[in-house]
Structure 1
């Protein structure tokens, strides 16, 4: 059995603005379970970066440990990559971003990698507003160790083994909002059109962008009683909005009535279209976003779409006033200004 994709592609395959086909954004063939939601997310990532015409060599993809963290092998095979240790991807991503701000960063994690062993690192990458797209493939269980409940498993959810989870779940979207994240979205691996658009907007967002994706585990957490199974999610989705690109138009505000729509302007001048389906679905209001998540949770609903957007973020480079030149492009003179400069710095600290 081979895990290498065939090199043949149809000569009429569509190309993007760079002249690339989707082949340039693919990776090896997946070895995950057939039907795994993570593969759908990988497909959405491939499609999003292909449509954005991002040069693959400008992307740095990072992951931790888990089924989700295996997926970077299956997409963006011509980009930079680093598979870190369990729960430590945020610190590796931070170091890489600080050293080379010219790359575009994509972090891929799971509910165990982020909400359990990696929780401490996750909260700091959020509050520091590192410029990264952070995708959580959330299936509520530990697939690599035979399906134990993870920290995001809902209270009362039944595992494949028949045990019922007695603990309240960690709400990653709600936590990110509390910590000040400027771009918070949720989606479902089975809703690929919505997920592609959310990824495209997250890539364009100049700051920390979280997309929490419910991604059912077909082997260990797709059984009756699981609140992260395909059937349950399809029956309990409550979309905040339909998301799509629209042409640049005249300036508008976010004040709009229930049942109507609005164009939300992104930082770079592009737009996404929001159709308000609920009275409190205002993506610019953090408190409203937190309330919407809590209301959906009380109704046992899964809120999907763009939950919150901070239109004018300040990323970590701006906060720390770092050099606009990436460290890997600096000369020895730039990095080591000499003994006299060091003495001047030490004197200023006395």
Structure 2
């Protein structure tokens, strides 16, 4: 077995609008367990960025510690990357975003990295509306330390360590409470749903959470686990089907009257929603919170775009920062002269 990817690719591979092939968005060969849901998420990220024709050098991928945080090695090998310490990815993402607002930031984390040691970091990134795509690869266990239950394991769920006695932290519900402006949940085995959600999250102006149920085939794929492949497939329910339409592309999809909605994002791209749940409106925050609660009561796994605020201010808007990245500021930008200082002093008298 080899861990070196062959350099040869067929010369007639499809290319996106920038002239890149999908190979340009790949990374190293995964060393995760065969069948791990995280690899499917990496594949969805690769496909989404290829289809959106994102120049690889315009994306920065950040992670913490855990099986999930290894995955940035396995996609977008030509992008910027930073692997931080356990639970501290949001702080690194905040600093990087404030220093260079021109990059697209994608944070990859796990249920332990986010819902346990990184909880304090996560909640402040949400409440500040940091412009980042925050993907949680949620398997309900600590894969690196042999499968102990994580904070997102459902009460009564059975793992190899026994029955979990504690209530789970529901990250989408928490994100809604804290003011997140884009909240979604998906399943690693549903690329048809996940890829458009990633595209929409990238286009969103503000904090975009995608909580992805991603079964751990080694430690948490057994009978009784609520994060196993079988359980998720049997209990999954969808709020809506999302179709992402980039700017300039003709809209050709049609749905029956009363069953669809269109949302225009800040960059001109569009989301078309085919609503499966009755009276579903992802712009209604209260309805989203109620539906998430009902899904827990009914032991359902609610997926799709749960909530979005298409008209939102991100951290740069709130802080009124300069438009230029900090590394592009020149002396005349940083030192405008004594006249400007005198005007500031005059305003404070």
- Which deviates more from structure 2 when the two are superposed, residues 239-248 or residues 109-118? 239-248
- Aligned partner of 1:167 in structure 2 is 166
Q: Is the CA contact (8 Å cut-off) linking 1:182 and 1:308 kept in structure 2? A: yes
- Aligned partner of 1:253 in structure 2 is none
State how far apart, in whole Å, the 2-side matches of 1:237 and 1:91 are: 33
State how far apart, in whole Å, the 2-side matches of 1:85 and 1:346 are: 42
Number of aligned positions between the proteins: 342
Q: Is the CA contact (8 Å cut-off) linking 2:199 and 2:244 kept in structure 1? A: no
State how far apart, in whole Å, the 1-side matches of 2:251 and 2:224 are: 47
**Root mean square deviation, CA, Å:** 1.9
State how far apart, in whole Å, the 2-side matches of 1:249 and 1:15 are: 22
1:101 and 2:109 aligned: no
- Aligned partner of 1:136 in structure 2 is 136
TM-score normalised by L of structure 2? 0.93
- Aligned partner of 2:185 in structure 1 is 186
Cα 1:42–1:249, aligned 2, differ >3 Å: closer, same or farther?
Answer: closer
- Aligned partner of 1:209 in structure 2 is 208
State how far apart, in whole Å, the 1-side matches of 2:89 and 2:337 are: 34
3-state SS in 2 of match to 1:69: helix
State how far apart, in whole Å, the 2-side matches of 1:292 and 1:280 are: 11
State how far apart, in whole Å, the 2-side matches of 1:210 and 1:20 are: 27
Q: Is the CA contact (8 Å cut-off) linking 1:281 and 1:292 kept in structure 2? A: no
- Aligned partner of 1:86 in structure 2 is 86
3-state SS in 1 of match to 2:158: coil
Cα 1:276–1:126, aligned 2, differ >3 Å: closer, same or farther?
Answer: same
TM-score normalised by L of structure 1? 0.93
- Aligned partner of 1:16 in structure 2 is 16
Q: How does 1:274-313 map to 2 (within 5 A)?
A: 274-313=273-312
Q: Is the CA contact (8 Å cut-off) linking 1:280 and 1:292 kept in structure 2? A: no
- Which deviates more from structure 2 when the two are superposed, residues 277-286 or residues 27-36? 277-286
Q: How does 1:314-329 map to 2 (within 5 A)?
A: 314-329=313-328
3-state SS in 1 of match to 2:186: strand
Q: Is the CA contact (8 Å cut-off) linking 1:248 and 1:271 kept in structure 2? A: no
Which residues of structure 1 form unaligned runs of 5+? 251-255
- Aligned partner of 2:240 in structure 1 is 241
Cα 1:245–1:100, aligned 2, differ >3 Å: closer, same or farther?
Answer: closer
1:222-267 CA-to-partner distances (Å, cap 9, x unmatched) read 00000000000000000011122355669xxxxx85xx22223223
1:140-181 CA-to-partner distances (Å, cap 9, x unmatched) read 0000000000000000000123x1001000000001111111
- Aligned partner of 2:76 in structure 1 is 76
Deviation at 1:11, TM superposition (A): 1.2
State how far apart, in whole Å, the 2-side matches of 1:301 and 1:63 are: 29
State how far apart, in whole Å, the 1-side matches of 2:346 and 2:143 are: 56
Which residues of structure 2 form unaligned runs of 5+? none
1:275-321 CA-to-partner distances (Å, cap 9, x unmatched) read 22222421010000111111111110001000001010100000000
Cα 1:344–1:275, aligned 2, differ >3 Å: closer, same or farther?
Answer: closer
